[in-house]
C-alpha cells in the first residue's frame, strides 16, 4: 500500500525483508554482483586511487595532503584533511536541495516505524548536540552512548560527530543498573 504523507512516500509491506527485482538491481548504482566484484577488484589493485576517488565525493573543510600513509598497524588515511561525518550525512544534502527527502527510516522489532527527512534529522541532531554542549561536551571529549536499537541512537552518534566528540556505543544488554555497569567499566579502564 502506498500513501503520501507530507510529501514523503510511505511504503507499507507485509514482509520486513524485501529483495529487489532484477530491474531494480540494474538501476542501482552498482547494478549487480558482477559490478560489485569489479569495484572490489579496482579497490584492491589501486587502493590509493580508489579511496581518493571515493573521498572526493565528500565535503572537506581542508583537503587531505596524502590519501594513505604507513602500513598496518601504524597508518593514516587522508592525512591533513578535515571533514565531518555529520556535515557529509546531513548538511550537504540539505544544501543540495534534498532537505525534504527521506534520510532515515527506522523500524523496531515490534513493527513500529518512524522516518526522518534530512531537515528533520538535522533539527534533532542539532538539538541533541546542544544538549551535549550544555553538559560541557566539546571537541575530543569521550561520550558513551547507552541506547537500544532506536533512531535516537543514530541521532546521538551524529550529534557527537557534529561536535567532534569521540563516541562509543555500549551494548545495552548489561545488568539492570546501566549507570553502575558503565561506571565500573570506565573505572577499570581508567584505574
How far apart CA 142 and CA 130 sit, in angstroms, is: 16
- The rounded distance, in Å, linking the Cα atoms of 186 and 171 is 14
**Is the predicted pLDDT of residue 159 greater than 60, yes or no?**
yes
Segment 52-105, tens digit of pLDDT: 999 999 999 999 999 999 987 888 999 999 999 999 999 999 999 999 999 999
- The yes-or-no verdict on residue 21 having pLDDT over 60 is yes
Lowest average pLDDT, out of 71-80, 120-129, 177-186, goes to 177-186
Lookup: cell for 31? 547494478
DSSP 3-state of 168? strand
Provide the pLDDT for residue 13: 38
The number of angstroms, rounded, from the C-alpha of 60 to the middle of its chain's C-alpha atoms is: 17
Instruction: Kindly tell me if the per-residue pLDDT of 6 is higher than 70.
Output: no
Preceding amide of 51 cis, omega within 30:
no
Question: What is the CA angle 44-48-53, rounded to 5?
Answer: 100
Confidence of residue 175 (pLDDT cuts 50, 70, 90): low
- Interval 136-144 mean pLDDT: 94
Is a pLDDT exceeding 70 seen at residue 114? yes
State the chain's mean pLDDT as an integer: 82
**pLDDT of amino acid 174:** 56
> Domains in the chain, please, with CATH?
20-83 (no CATH), 85-191 (3.40.50.980)
Amino acid at each position: 500500500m502506498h500513501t503520501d504523507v507530507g510529501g514523503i512516500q510511505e511504503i507499507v509491506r507485509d514482509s520486513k525483508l524485501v529483495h529487489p527485482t532484477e530491474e531494480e538491481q540494474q538501476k542501482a548504482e552498482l547494478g549487480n554482483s558482477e559490478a560489485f566484484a569489479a569495484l572490489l577488484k579496482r579497490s584492491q589493485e589501486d587502493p590509493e586511487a580508489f579511496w581518493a576517488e571515493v573521498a572526493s565525493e565528500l565535503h572537506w573543510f581542508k583537503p587531505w595532503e596524502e590519501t594513505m600513509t604507513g602500513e598496518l598497524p601504524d597508518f593514516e588515511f587522508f592525512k591533513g584533511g578535515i571533514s565531518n561525518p555529520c556535515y557529509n550525512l546531513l548538511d550537504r544534502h540539505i544544501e543540495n536541495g534534498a532537505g525534504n527527502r527521506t534520510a532515515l527510516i527506522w523500524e523496531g522489532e515490534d513493527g513500529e516505524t518512524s522516518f526522518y527527512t534530512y531537515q528533520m534529522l538535522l533539527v534533532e541532531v542539532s538539538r541533541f548536540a546542544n544538549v551535549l554542549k550544555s553538559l560541557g561536551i566539546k571537541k575530543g571529549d569521550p561520550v558513551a552512548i547507552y541506547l537500544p536499537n532506536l533512531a535516537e541512537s543514530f541521532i546521538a552518534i551524529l550529534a557527537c560527530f557534529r561536535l567532534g566528540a569521540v563516541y562509543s556505543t555500549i551494548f545495552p544488554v548489561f545488568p539492570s543498573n546501566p549507570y553502575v555497569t558503565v561506571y565500573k567499566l570506565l573505572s577499570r579502564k581508567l584505574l
